[in-house]
């Protein structure tokens, strides 16, 4: 496996992600920001943050698979959420948990969550991008 996830001593241990990842592989996979679209481009979960987060993570997994990678190969995730406030965290975590259950993984690479004013489409509440490393 090309990715090692760590929580260094001296930094808080966060349940939902690790603080650091190291990569030893030779092939980088950059997944463009994925929104809650199905294969035909229709928005899934209009107005439902948890449903859209779930779909975004499933779409990231689909993109990773095409490149020969899985969430185990992800070194970093960046999430953009429209009008983010901390009270939305339970819905965000619910969506991640539902995607993880469907995928049979625990996606905990280092991550950054960024609140934004808007995304490219007003229907989209969240966008998720990922960087993976594979051998």
Structural domains of the chain sorted by starting position, each given as residue range(s) with its CATH number in brackets: 3-134 (3.30.1330.40)
Report DSSP state, residue 42: P
Nearest to 130 by CA among 42, 67, 46: 67
Q: Are 11 and 19 contacting, i.e. CB atoms less than 8 angstroms apart? A: yes
pLDDT grade for 58, boundaries at 50, 70 and 90: very high
Alpha-carbon dihedral angle through residues 57, 61, 63, 69, given to the nearest 10 degrees: 140
- Cα separation, 3 vs 114, whole angstroms: 24
The predicted structure's pLDDT at residue 50: 98
What DSSP character marks residue 82? E
- What's the CA gap between 135 and 123, in Å, rounded? 37
Q: Worst-scoring range by mean pLDDT, 22-26, 59-63, 93-97? A: 22-26
Instruction: Answer whether residue 3 shows pLDDT above 90.
Output: no
**Res. 6: pLDDT tops 90:** no
Specify the pTM.
Answer: 0.89
């Amino acid at each position: 496996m090309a990715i090692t996830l760590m929580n260094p001593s001296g930094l808080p241990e966060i349940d939902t992600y690790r603080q650091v990842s190291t990569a030893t592989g030779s092939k980088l996979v950059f997944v463009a920001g994925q929104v809650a679209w199905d294969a035909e481009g229709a928005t899934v979960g209009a107005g439902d943050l948890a449903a859209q987060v779930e779909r975004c993570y499933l779409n990231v997994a689909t993109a990773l698979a095409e490149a020969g990678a899985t969430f185990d190969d992800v070194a970093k995730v960046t999430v953009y959420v429209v009008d983010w406030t901390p009270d939305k965290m339970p819905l965000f975590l619910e969506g991640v948990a539902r995607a993880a259950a469907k995928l049979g993984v625990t996606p905990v690479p280092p991550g950054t969550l960024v609140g934004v004013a808007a995304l490219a489409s007003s229907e989209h509440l969240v966008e998720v991008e990922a960087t993976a490393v594979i051998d």
